[in-house]
């Protein structure tokens, strides 16, 4: 018994006419009759009562028509889903990202994915102090956005854009003439001991200006830092992307320092959807800062 035989049966069960059915399925009446007879012989059930003028379903045929219609519908759906997966239109993709792009680049990026690949399921993770290279090579993530390049022969690493790093001050705080004037202020920043790219960037900035910041609160979550700055609990240094959070009572002052955004993915990737998503990211490489 083949799926093609079942399709012939279902068409004949709807038409109840061999000539019309043979025209519809593009085979001869004799070939159609042989296929139906072979199906009946194999399952040991008479499906049709037929004579020279009429074709009628038996009771068993009526039952199988209903059951096989449902089965073939489910099978067609499974085949369509498999084709989508093969073409790179569905499945599940895991994406890791830094919190700074959650207010600018990431929403626009996800909007494009949702429009172009509406059946694709996304898993979003904002890792803290994680090794993005390890996440990719262990297949714990499929696409990684990060502030640093990854130098590994098994990973593609593409720079998307650069953006300024900024002082973030509450509106009540007057803009200083020199950042060194802020060395006695309460800084709300990521822990400088961490291995994250933002922590490394902060260390570079403070080394350049030759002072150790007074840290009263440490956090790796930019959204939380913005809220604390808006409450007047301190000042911070963050990428300009956070300006798109539209947090009240804060303002951003660009420093003469930039940070980059990279996208990383595995080389020789078998999942066909990954290159499509990377192309979407490339098309968004000029945020309006």
Task: Summarize the confidence of residues 177-187 as an average pLDDT.
Answer: 87
Which domains does the chain carry? Answer: 3-87 (1.10.10.10), 91-161+262-282 (3.40.190.10), 163-259 (3.40.190.10)
Give 1-55 pLDDT, tens digit per residue.
888 999 999 999 998 888 888 889 899 988 988 999 999 999 999 999 987 678 8
Task: Summarize the confidence of residues 206-226 as an average pLDDT.
Answer: 88
Contact 171, 250 (CB under 8 A): yes
C-alpha to C-alpha distance for 97 and 67, rounded to whole angstroms: 48
Task: Summarize the confidence of residues 158-179 as an average pLDDT.
Answer: 91
- CB-neighbour burial class of residue 93 (10 A; exposed 0-12, middle 13-18, buried 19+): buried
Q: Is the pLDDT of residue 155 over 90?
A: yes
Question: Which of residues 197 and 230 earns the better pLDDT score?
Answer: 230
Binned at pLDDT 50, 70 and 90, residue 288 comes out as: low
Continuous segment of H or E residues that includes residue 216: strand 214-218
Count of C-beta atoms within a 10 Å radius of residue 86 = 10
Contact 116, 98 (CB under 8 A): no
C-alpha to C-alpha distance for 105 and 99, rounded to whole angstroms: 11
Q: Is the pLDDT of residue 212 over 80?
A: yes
Give 237-283 pLDDT, tens digit per residue.
999 999 999 999 999 999 989 999 999 999 988 888 999 999 999 98
C-alpha to C-alpha distance for 180 and 159, rounded to whole angstroms: 32
Give 59-114 pLDDT, tens digit per residue.
998 999 999 999 988 888 788 767 767 767 778 899 999 988 999 899 999 999 99
C-alpha to C-alpha distance for 120 and 92, rounded to whole angstroms: 6
Contact 155, 227 (CB under 8 A): no
In this prediction the pTM is 0.71
Q: Is the pLDDT of residue 229 over 90?
A: yes
Q: What is the pLDDT of residue 129?
A: 62
């Amino acid at each position: 018994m083949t799926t093609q035989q079942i399709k012939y049966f279902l068409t004949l069960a709807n038409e109840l006419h061999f000539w019309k059915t043979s025209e519809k399925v593009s085979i001869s009446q004799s070939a159609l009759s042989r296929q139906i007879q072979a199906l009946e012989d194999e399952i040991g059930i008479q499906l049709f009562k037929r004579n020279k003028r009429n074709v009628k379903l038996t009771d068993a045929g009526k039952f199988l028509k209903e059951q096989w219609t449902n089965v073939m519908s489910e099978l067609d759906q499974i085949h369509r889903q498999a084709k989508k997966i093969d073409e790179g239109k569905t499945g599940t993709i895991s994406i890791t990202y830094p919190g700074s792009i959650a207010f600018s680049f990431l929403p626009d990026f996800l909007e494009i994915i949702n429009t172009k690949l509406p059946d694709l399921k996304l898993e979003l993770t904002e890792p803290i102090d994680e090794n993005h290279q390890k996440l990719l090579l262990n297949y714990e993530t499929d696409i990684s956005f990060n502030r640093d390049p990854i130098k590994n022969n098994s990973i593609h690493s593409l720079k998307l854009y650069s953006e300024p790093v900024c002082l973030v001050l509450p509106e009540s705080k007057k803009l200083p003439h020199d950042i060194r004037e802020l060395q006695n202020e309460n800084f709300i920043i990521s822990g400088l001991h961490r291995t994250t790219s933002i922590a490394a960037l902060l260390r570079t900035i403070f080394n350049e200006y030759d002072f150790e910041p007074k840290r009263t609160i440490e956090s790796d979550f930019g959204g939380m830092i913005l809220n604390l700055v808006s409450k007047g609990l301190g000042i911070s240094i963050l990428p300009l992307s956070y300006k798109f959070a539209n947090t009240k009572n804060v303002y951003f002052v660009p420093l003469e320092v930039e940070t980059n955004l990279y996208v990383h993915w595995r080389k020789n990737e078998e999942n066909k959807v990954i290159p499509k998503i990377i192309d979407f990211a490339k098309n968004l490489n000029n945020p309006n800062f």
